[in-house]
Structure 1
């Protein structure tokens, strides 16, 4: 496929133009995830639900994402990625309609489980393994790390803008004379419209060639190393589940009395820093290696998170959290490139699914636990536990994989 004007602007050199729809889709979904992660706790509290309910619904979204990702790993060998992404866009539309129209905890838990809602800053939905597999096939070598970084950059920037848009419901309610609850419901309507918009975007993806169609076992010889990576990633995900954006938003509202608008402004700044760090990750990984980039940017970020739990003032707390945001996401493109380097092209959907499922399941436990801790008044405990677990994960990852040099069938070698 020839590179058009838009493709030349958003794609790094050496990447096929077929990656463009995945980047556009990530941007649109990231914008929606950005404002809903901030507004979800405010919306649920406005419905009369409690803090523990916020955690339960956040957990239900992550458990459902894990189940959907398992299904993706099975069906990706039978159906084209394009068709499955179009199906996912339809599910996104249904999710927005369900949250906008229903109010009971039981109904919202069901929709959270089967839908595509994302309570955090990172992407944990069934879109992720499908889009990663598409991107991995559009580039090789260093260009693959670059396209994963661009993918994370687009997601981070769009999520930051979405967080800034979280102030819109309160602004609109005050000027239009409608209730805040009605304005919040309208934001879920926008989420549904975004799903409709994604249909033509994903239809632009090319049909797979016969030689690119999956064949053989889902994971062959790399199964052992992918299994170990998946288990370690699950520890990191459980820790991250303790401080997903919806719960961090709730924590800031409780501790400092933040409004949704002020919280959105904070997440806008944090999102910009996270997005900018994606560009730094590529040259840094080229210089010190993928594994070292993952570990030695993660540990300082975790220390900042722990310190924020003890910070005596608002401004020091926000400063520490912003420093964390500037460091904590550099491992995302490098981690993805590392996984994709150990498997062959037909195995990539299965590898992405196989590593994503334990992450989603482990992350699903965190929000409920964190919500319970917040409800009992232990406001700093989720931040401390998250930081300590992530440091343990980083040290273990370094110890287990420091001598591993994955090579895939395309001959790409990533030295760590």
Structure 2
């Protein structure tokens, strides 16, 4: 019995469940909001291109719509992430959820191309099924803020895993709902698509509620919030909750957030040291995301529908299974990161997925085509948690939200060109070329990442107890190195 308990506890720690528990309710709520949002994106990714095709929009207009939507997401994400730490992360997440509701209502009611485009650009709609909106950068920065280097990769792995589960559920629901509504008397295929967008609206409203339960611990300036509370107590009650020991300490240095003119600095600044590292990363992300934009899940589903003429429920089943497989594999990203290192995990899991994209048009039958799609999606998200952990490990904590926001902007900007290129190719009967080019670009990204960052030192900007004492593990640290670091932190 003792052996069984030990094995269960080992599995509990190995899968990152202990790290997840130690993060606390705020981390759980962030993961839950991401899961419900990706459920909405999953319903969206299956039908968006099909919805526009049913409205008789040309392939060029479909690609143009996705490109302009990604541009809108980019601008919104950049603005909100640069001010999130000053305005408040919880407020920004609430605002993003509200915009998501507005977009969902517009798609559930209207059919005019320009109205839908305006709703997608101004609001939050997922054109590709991916999370390019203003949420992810803020959430990843908040999770990095709530965790230590010892637990960060595990928690981020669950953040990605549950998101894949949400996408799987969303695509399954979407296909079933469309087929079910279409069979009802008086319902057309377009009416059924409109019905699915009400699900999108509902999940946005749910996320608005969930963000209200996040605590002040999620904010980057939580210490300033607590200090402000103590100062208010002095003014109102004539007493202070600050201990005598704290009062004897030297006065705090002047706050740097106020400029010489007295105005607050609402926009974050990025240090030269951080920029020198991120420029190389951003260049590689441009290559990778351009490829992903060319063959996003919506366009991939559209390609399979054109090539094999499958029912919507079958397409939903295929996509749902692929997301479920992604969840099963992504949960292993945390343990792999501890053993292989962050960069090795990113490269060795992403490279086979890139090869699957390259070979995707080759099979003439549905079986091998779906097999390659499953291989792509199963491994595609395993690099996300170590990637976020890697960025958090090489930039200063106070710069994380801004850096992750700019990273999201750079990736979104690169992705905007992808759908338009694919739309032009599809319009000329060369849809398959998009997958070949995208696969080759993704392989270049993987090799470049390995060459440039394999020996990068990590955690140089963490607190003393999580960085300096552990000799700054490298990006390819061995299992022994990382485990020793983790044990010291704990």
**TMscore range, shorter length:** over 0.9
CA distance in 2, matches of 1:23, 1:60: 28
2:140 to 132, 141, 157: 132
Q: Tell me what 2:212 maps to.
A: 203
Note if 1:409 corresponds to 2:462.
yes
Residue 135 of structure 1: SS of its match in structure 2? Answer: helix
Which residue number in structure 2 is paired with residue 218 of structure 1?
269
Q: Output one character per residue of 1:310-343: Cα deviation in whole Å (capped at 9) or x when no partner.
A: 1121101111111122222111101010001112
Cα contact 2:82–2:401 (8 A) shared by 1? no
Q: Quote the offset at 1:211 in angstroms.
A: 2.5
Match of 2:155 in 1: 147
CA contact (8 A) 1:30 1:159 kept: yes
Match of 2:280 among 196, 206, 228: 228
Matched, 1:170 2:221: no
Instruction: Map 1:314-393 to 2 at 5 A.
Output: 314-393=366-445
> What is the aligned partner in structure 2 of residue 107 from structure 1?
115
Equivalent-residue separation in structure 2 for 1:401 and 1:93 (angstroms): 40
Distance apart, 1:254 and its partner CA: 0.6
1:283 lines up with 2:331 in the alignment = no
Q: 1:151 to 1:212 in 2, by over 3 A?
A: farther
CA deviation digits over 1:207-231, x for unaligned, max 9?
2354367966522232211222122
1:58-137 pair list within 5 angstroms? 58-137=66-145
- The 3-state SS of whatever aligns with 2:132 is coil
Cα distance, 1:11 vs structure 2: 6.6
Give CA-to-partner distance per residue, 1:2-28, whole Å, 9 cap, x none: xxxxxx989724323211221111111
**Corresponding residue for residue 322 of structure 2:** 270
Moved more, 9-18 or 395-404: 9-18
Give distance in 2, aligned partners of 1:271 and 1:156.
5
Q: Please tell me whether the aligned partners of residues 343 and 409 of structure 1 are also in contact (alpha carbons under 8 angstroms).
A: no
**Alignment correspondent of 1:394:** 446
Q: Aligned-residue CA RMSD in angstroms?
A: 1.9
For residues 54-83 of structure 1, give each alpha carbon's deviation from its aligned partner in whole angstroms, at most 9, with x where no partner exists.
211211221111101110233214211011
Residues 9 and 406 from structure 1, CA distance in 2 versus in 1: closer, same or farther, beyond 3 angstroms?
closer
Identify the residue that residue 38 of structure 1 maps to in structure 2. Answer: 46
Structure-1 separation of matches of 2:17 and 2:333? 20
CA distance in 1, matches of 2:429, 2:71: 26
1:376-403 CA-to-partner distances (Å, cap 9, x unmatched) read 1112111111100000111111111122
Asked if structure 2 preserves the Cα contact closer than 8 Å seen for 1:302 and 1:324, the reply is yes
Which of these two proteins has the greater Rg computed from alpha carbons? 2
Instruction: Structure 1 unaligned segments of length 5 or more: list them.
Output: 1-7
1:176 positional shift: 4.4
Name the CA shift for 1:212/1:262 in 2 (closer, same or farther; >3 Å): farther
Structure 1 residues 357, 414: CA separation in 2 closer, same or farther (over 3 Å shift)? farther
Task: Report the Cα distance in structure 2 between the residues aligned to 1:304 and 1:25, rounded to whole angstroms.
Answer: 31
How many pairs were matched up? 409
Cα pair 2:358 2:439 within 8 Å, conserved: yes
How far apart, in 1, do the equivalents of 2:280 and 2:25 lie?
33
Seen in structure 2, the aligned counterparts of structure 1 residues 13 and 414 have a Cα distance that, compared at 3 Å, is farther
CA–CA separation in structure 2 for the residues paired with 1:10 and 1:161: 26
Query: How far apart are the structure 2 equivalents of 1:173 and 1:326?
Result: 31
Q: Post-superposition shift, 1:265?
A: 0.8
Distance 1:393 1:178 in 2: 46
Counterpart Cα distance in 2 of 1:68 and 1:205: 22
Question: Is the 1:230–1:356 Cα contact (8 Å) retained in structure 2?
Answer: no
Pair 1:257 & 2:309 matched: yes
Q: Is residue 61–residue 115 contact of structure 1 (8 Å, CA) maintained in 2?
A: no
Match of 1:3 in 2: none
Q: Distance between the aligned counterparts of 1:13 and 1:193, measured in 2?
A: 28
